[in-house]
Structure 1
Amino acid sequence: MSDPTDAELADRYRPRLLSEQAELAASSRATHDDRRPVELDQQSVGRLSRMDALQGQAMAKGLEARRMARGRAIAAALERITVGEFGWCEACGEFIGTRRLDVDPCATRCVACAR
């Protein structure tokens, strides 16, 4: 079986990457308030409640950092599609394989080089 063409790869993975990119942006907007600074209000928030709020804020910031990293990986994959380098291992130059790309279309290395 021959390797797919750049156009076939683009048709197969671009919509999925764009959809995931849009989902990440929507999730980021939806959780914006969770990442805002926790205000000190001695009247309505006790020490434990403030600690819970700070912990929630830290978790939201961590999740946003992971979203941003995934967003950068998606943008890089979309750029590789544009320039015709998508699906090819950055280390050895061999085709990554559709099974691996189906799992993660942002993959930049074949299974052998990823080990």
Structure 2
Amino acid sequence: MTEIDWKTKLLAMKRDLQATDSAAKDSRGAVVELDQSRVGRLSRMDALQSQAMNNAIAVRRQQMLSRLNSALERIEAEDFGYCLECGDEISAKRLELDPTVCFCTQCAKA
């Protein structure tokens, strides 16, 4: 792929991730009813667990967003596709699997 194709792909991934995150904000911010007389203990535990999972997913989304931004910065600096450790070219197959990778397979193993 050319640089423009990678940039387009990364920007689309970023847009999708931001849209998903925006849509999921309600599930992370929901207040869990603590009054046991109104809500059963198991229902409250389920709500707390669901909220914790949604918060963990949001953290992973933010981490991916950071990786996408870093990849876009590497494109602008014309460093995209090169290992940050050794400077060798990252294989196209590796980039196709995850365009945010910044290390070649050898350096990633080390």
- Per the alignment, in what secondary structure is the counterpart of residue 28 of structure 1? helix
**Shift of residue 47 of structure 1?**
1.1
Instruction: Find the partner of 1:15 among 8, 15, 23.
Output: 8
1:114/1:58 Cα in 2 relative to 1: closer, same or farther (>3 Å)?
same
- Per the alignment, in what secondary structure is the counterpart of residue 61 of structure 1? helix
Alignment of 1:1-115 (within 5 A): 8=2, 10-36=3-29, 37-42=31-36, 44-115=38-109
Cα displacement string for residues 15-51 of structure 1 (whole angstroms, at most 9, x for unaligned residues) = 1111111111111111111111323344542111111
TM-score (norm: length of structure 2): 0.91
Is contact 2:33–2:39 with CA below 8 Å preserved after alignment? Answer: no
Gap regions ≥5 residues in structure 1: none
Matched AA of 1:16? K
Distance 2:82 2:14 in 1: 21
Q: Quick one: percent identity of the two aligned structures?
A: 43
The root-mean-square deviation of aligned C-alpha atoms, in Å, is: 1.4
> 30-39 or 94-103: which moved more?
30-39
TM-score (norm: length of structure 1): 0.87
Question: What is the total number of aligned residue pairs between the two structures?
Answer: 108
Matched AA of 2:14? Q
Structure 1: 4+ residue segments shifted above 4 A? none
Distance 1:12 1:43 in 2: 57
